[in-house]
Amino acid sequence: MTTNRHLIGHWEIVKYTNAHIEVERDEIALEYPLTVFVNGEEFATLICSPADIKELVIGFLASEGMIRSIMDVQSFHLDRERGFSYVNLHTSIQNKKEFVSKRMIGSCCGKSRQFYFYQDAKTAKTILKSASITPEQCFYLMTELNKYSTLFKRTGGLHNAALCTTEGVMQTFCDIGRHNVLDKIYGYCLLHDISIHDKVIAFSGRMSSEVILKVAKIGCGILLSKSAPTDLALKLANDLRVTTVGFIRNEKMNIYTHSERILIDKGDGESGESINCH
């Protein structure tokens, strides 16, 4: 779990309120450049919050297709002061590295799926198995995520995400980057050998195409958010069979894709039934 010490700094500001000026000490989200070396070669520099670094790096490498499980990792070392992370793998990265940043033009499989990079096409999973969830559980999980959003309320500069069962929150992460919190969830699952197919991700940010790809790479079938999606995100979510639910607030929500996983109580005492808006 992240700690305030690794996420928040302080800055002296001049605050202007209703023509009144005062100097005060404000809390600011920390920004941390982290350069990742794989097998001795510089691989990428991530701009992140300086907490849960191992989870972030492992999840990022899995998302990029560099590893498939934690068994691929021989060693991990963090030089926190210099902002360097060193990962040694059991295999060479040369063949994989060639496609990490290679642009892909056109559609995949004739569908609306517009992958920007080859690695996305290789690593994004179509979700075949997933939990089902009730609207009440959706509201509850977002309420629980908000309870862990105290650092956002203090700084205004952090995103939150939680790995959940349908009954409650398992683990939460914060970061200045909305993609980073998802990589941290991925890394956490790999490090702790957690099965993801029956889990739910609750998320504070906008559901972009990159966010949907991250969720699909993790292998989670349900994404809950208090924010909006983009059109490409919904096209990808529809193709990858990810259930997306947005604007979850005040007992209201919008179900955008694969609504059959949302169980609605018919009001006659029977168990919930799925709905499908497609």
Domains of the chain, by residue range, sit at 135-274
Q: Residue 237 in contact with residue 255, Cβ under 8 Å? A: no
109 tagged catalytic: yes
* Adjacent-strand bridge partners of 200: 164
Which tens digits make up the pLDDT trace of 187-205?
Answer: 999 999 999 999 999 999 9
The architecture that CATH gives domain 135-274 is: 3-Layer(aba) Sandwich (3.40)
Per the DSSP assignment, residues forming a β-bridge with 29 are: 8
pLDDT-based confidence at 272, cuts 50/70/90?
low
Q: pLDDT category, 21, cuts 50, 70, 90?
A: very high
Q: Which residue has the tokens 């605050």?
A: 15
Out of 21-25, 76-80, 83-87, 96-100, least confident range: 96-100
- Phi, psi dihedral angles at 222 (to 5 degrees): -135, 125
Q: Which of 109, 138, 174, 220 is catalytic?
A: 109
> Which residue type does 70 have?
I
Count Cβ atoms below 10 Å from residue 127 Cβ, excluding itself.
Answer: 22
Least confident of 153-162, 204-213, 231-240, 265-274: 265-274
